[in-house]
Structure 1
Amino acid sequence: MAGFWGKRKRDNEELLAQDADLARRAQTAIVEADERIRLTTDELVFAEAELGPEATKDLSDALEAVRQHLGEAFHLNQLNHDDIPDTAEELRTRNARIVQLCDWAEELLDDRTEVLAERIARARRAPEILAGVRRDAVRLRELLPQARETLTRLSARYSAEALRQIEANPAEAEQLLGFAEHSAGVSERRREAGQREQANLALEASTEAVRRAGTLIEAVETFEVEALRAESILAAVIEDSRGDLVAARQAPQVPAVLDAVRELEAALAGLPAAGVNTDPFTQLTRMREANAGLDAAIAAAREREAHPVPDYTHVRNAIDDADRQLAVARDVIAGHRGWIGADARTRLAEAERLRLDLDRYLGASAATVTSIPEEQREQALAVARRSAFLASEGLQLAQRDIEAYRPQGWGEPGYGAWGGQPQGWGGGRRGGGAGDVMGGIMGGLVIGSLLDGFFD
């Protein structure tokens, strides 16, 4: 008994300590949340001045929501310290709610201020960013003549179709640079006029325009490198393709391989003569596709050669065998329904399902079709064989069930009411007496031949 009261005392002391810790956390949380609201309010004033009220609406709405909920926290804290006595459970519930409200307030304000942090930082660095935009615009303008020279040099080697993706790049880059410089000026004027939101929009537009102009100019130089790489790869693919055509003579000469050979030969014949402006990217794509097509056709032909398509006769025989196995299994199970267990019935049901799937796969009754396309024979053969196997297995299980249910000595001279009960009566799984046997007979549970012999 002393141990019980000692444990109870320790539990009470632990609970009191937890309540005291929760009360301290509530006091700290409410102070920190109140300070965070004041700090974020100051940040909102600056953000609205820099970005405009539309950009800071989410933060403003969050502050309003936090003030309302913190009011609830202050009210709960007041209830904890008024003159009305409170139970420990009441204090515990209020303090937990205060901590919850304050944590939520901190998380919400963190989320909203983080979204604006980068934009506010950009606004503070606006003069520096604008100076960088102008420097980049000057540098890129100096690269425009080189880009035009590169384009002229490329036009002497590559076709107009190949150059179409970059031929307008220098002109477009020049327009973007002009737009970037104009936007930078607009940003400065709007900021001086106190229109901070418009100033920031113009700042972002000028920054993006300079970035796009640089990408377009760089693409001209990159094209030359990529085109040379494509020509190098194309040469390797051409050499490989010629070797594949020679090897294809040793492959099975089936229609798919012959078609792929003709396609690869056409791709090789379509290559431009020396000195003609080319499109290495288009040529490389066509050669790769034709080369891969031949490889796939040869691989499929060799696989088929190793595993020939089943003859129609074999498939037909397999379907007929499945139908025969199903017919026998159905008859035996239907004639002995009371004796057949779940395993035999399940095998028969699955065999019948596969047989129906075969009809659907062939698009007609498999029992009446006179031809089966080669591409369907292998699958049809597999399904028919599986159906026949399951039907055969179901028949074996059904026969096992029949033997297990049939009383010992069934059909022997002197059996049952005509000659007395033999030794082992009831040795089957059911057991029971002559009434069970006759009930089974009357229910059609014995095959016809045995019934005939019994009544004879």
Structure 2
Amino acid sequence: MSGAFWWVPSVVVLAVVVAAIVFVVTLLRRRTAALRGAETAAAAALAREAAISLVRADDLVESSTDELDFALAQFGEPATREFAAALAASRRQLSEAFALQQKLDDAVPDSAAERDRWNRQIRALAEEAGARLADQERDFDSKRGVEREAPRRLELLRRRLDRTADRLSGGSATIDRLRQSYAEHALAPISGNVERARAALTRAQQAVGAADIRLAEGAAEPVGEQLRAAEHALFQATGLLDAIEAGEDQLHRGFATLGQALTAVTAELTEARTLRDGHEESDTSAELNRAIADAAAVLAELREPTRLSDPAVDLARLETARDGLDVIRSEARNRQLRLQNARTALAGALLTVRSQLTVTHAYIGANRGRIGAAARTRLAEAERQLALALAEADPVVALDTARRAMTHATDADALAHYEAR
């Protein structure tokens, strides 16, 4: 009986081995899944850190741009060169970081290794760009000596606020005055500056008031933030009012330039009419007439007494009409000159071909028995082309015809001499 069941221990051993293999495989799969989960979580955390760093650096670049403008107005260009260079470098790094982020966000599949590498690069670029700007801002904060100079700076700010407030009415009057002469489109860059300056001035006054209260109450909180806000808002208000004055000057200079251009085009129209009336070609005269009519229409519209001017747009329109007139005038002059030159050359060409025909006729007549049909045919064609040239009214066509006559005449002479040898 024991011999009959010898295989039972073998089956048991095999079952144990299979169970051990299943256990090991299951354990390995669980460990692999755990590792993959940990890698996925780490990759997601890295992506979040990169995105946060990118947003933080972008905000810092924007705020540093305003800070640099403010520092430039306060300290001047030499003292802010390092800040400007740092901002430019950080912008370049931020642009590189955004380009990498775009690669992560586009529809092209990326490997896990690529995504991790790009996210690390984004984080490093953003952190370096932000740290550089933070250092510069801290440096300028220390330069200002905000807290030590707060009372004196507040007094200066109050005076500047008063002067800027006085300028608001002047800026409003300037805009009203300009509206009497210029179109709204021409005033668009500065028409809202008074309102924007008033709003900026209000912000500056509120910030100065808040700083005053803190100083009067002996509060422990620093007033640097309020002072910077007031100075920045005042800087904006002053810039907006300055732009009104600069805009007025630019409009007046543009209007003066337009007046000079109108005078020049008027003179050019007179020349174009003279050229049209004396031109020999009717087609060219018609083209000139169309260009003259177009330019004259623009000229009349721009000289309308009640019309509000838009110097930049008006100059562009006038220059377009002027360019069209110049092109036609140039072509007309070239055509007229071509006719004159052709007429001058034609006289010489006719004299030359007649002389050649006389010589060839004489030679063929003297050697009549030895000259064949080829030379005589060329001579006859030369005489025919000469007759056409003499009958042609267009000197350019007549000149070409006379030159063909000369070609046939010289060919006839050459053939005659060849055959008479």
Please give the TM-score of this superposition, normalised by the length of structure 2.
Answer: 0.38
The structure where helix makes up a greater share of residues is: 2
